[in-house]
Structure 1
Amino acid sequence: MMKIEKSITASFDVDPQCGFTFLCPDELPIYQGDEIADELNAQAQFASYRLVSKDSHPADALWITNKAEEIMTPVEGYHPDLDIKWPAHCIVGTKGNQLIPGLPEEKNYDLLIEKGVEAHKHPYGACYHDLANNESTGVIEWLKQRNIEVVIVGGLATDFCVKTTVLQLREAGFKVIVNLVACRGVDSETSKLACDEMRDAGVELINASSDLEAL
Structure 2
Amino acid sequence: MTVDLEFKPALIIVDFQEDFCPPNGSLAVPEGRDIAPVVNSLLSLPFTIKIATRDSHPQNHISFAENHPGAVPLKSYHTIVHPTDPTKSDTTLLWPTHCVQGTTGSALVPELDAAKVDVVVDKGIDARVEMYSAFYDPMRVSVSELGEKLREKGVTDVFVVGLAADFCVRATAESAVEEGYRTYIVEEGTRAVMRETWEAEGKKAVEGKGVRIVSVDGEEVARVRELA
Shorter-chain TM-score bucket reads 0.7 to 0.9
TM-score scaled by length of structure 1: 0.86
- Shift of the 149–170 alpha-carbon distance from structure 1 to 2, 3 Å rule, reads same
Taking the aligned partners of 1:127 and 1:77, their CA distance within structure 2 comes to 18
SS in 2 for 1:28: coil
- Shift of the 77–30 alpha-carbon distance from structure 1 to 2, 3 Å rule, reads closer
After TM superposition, the structure 1 = structure 2 runs for residues 73-84 of structure 1, keeping only pairs within 5 Å, are 73-75=76-78, 78=81, 80=89, 83-84=92-93
Q: Write the deviation string for residues 135-158 of structure 1: whole angstroms up to 9, x where unpaired.
A: 431212321221110111101000
TM-score scaled by length of structure 2: 0.81
Taking the aligned partners of 1:134 and 1:148, their CA distance within structure 2 comes to 24
Taking the aligned partners of 1:200 and 1:7, their CA distance within structure 2 comes to 23
What is aligned with 2:196?
A: 189
Residue 172 of structure 1 deviates from its aligned partner by 0.7
What is aligned with 2:165?
A: 158
Amino acid at match of 2:128: H
Bigger Rg over Cα: 2
4+ residue stretches of structure 1 with deviation over 4 A? 4-7, 76-79
Residue 12 of structure 1 deviates from its aligned partner by 0.7
Of 150-159 and 58-67, the range deviating more from structure 2: 58-67
Of 180-189 and 138-147, the range deviating more from structure 2: 138-147
2:111 aligned residue (96, 102, 105) = 102
What is aligned with 1:59?
A: 59
Taking the aligned partners of 1:116 and 1:82, their CA distance within structure 2 comes to 16
Query: Is it true that 1:72 corresponds to 2:75 in the alignment?
Result: yes
The CA RMSD measured in Å over matched residues stands at 2.5
Amino acid at match of 1:195: K
Query: Is it true that 1:31 corresponds to 2:45 in the alignment?
Result: no
Instruction: Structure 1: state its 5+ residue gaps.
Output: none
Amino acid at match of 1:205: I
SS in 1 for 2:155: coil
What is aligned with 1:198?
A: 206
The answer to whether the 8 A contact 2:129-2:141 is kept is: no
SS in 2 for 1:36: helix
What is aligned with 1:147?
A: 154
Instruction: Structure 2: state its 5+ residue gaps.
Output: 83-88
2:130 aligned residue (111, 122, 139) = 122
Aligned residues: 209
Amino acid at match of 2:51: L
Taking the aligned partners of 2:113 and 2:20, their CA distance within structure 1 comes to 18
Q: Write the deviation string for residues 93-143 of structure 1: whole angstroms up to 9, x where unpaired.
A: 2121011222133x7522211111122222100001x22246431212321
Taking the aligned partners of 1:6 and 1:210, their CA distance within structure 2 comes to 19
Amino acid at match of 2:151: K
The answer to whether the 8 A contact 1:82-1:121 is kept is: no
Amino acid at match of 2:147: I
The answer to whether the 8 A contact 1:82-1:131 is kept is: no
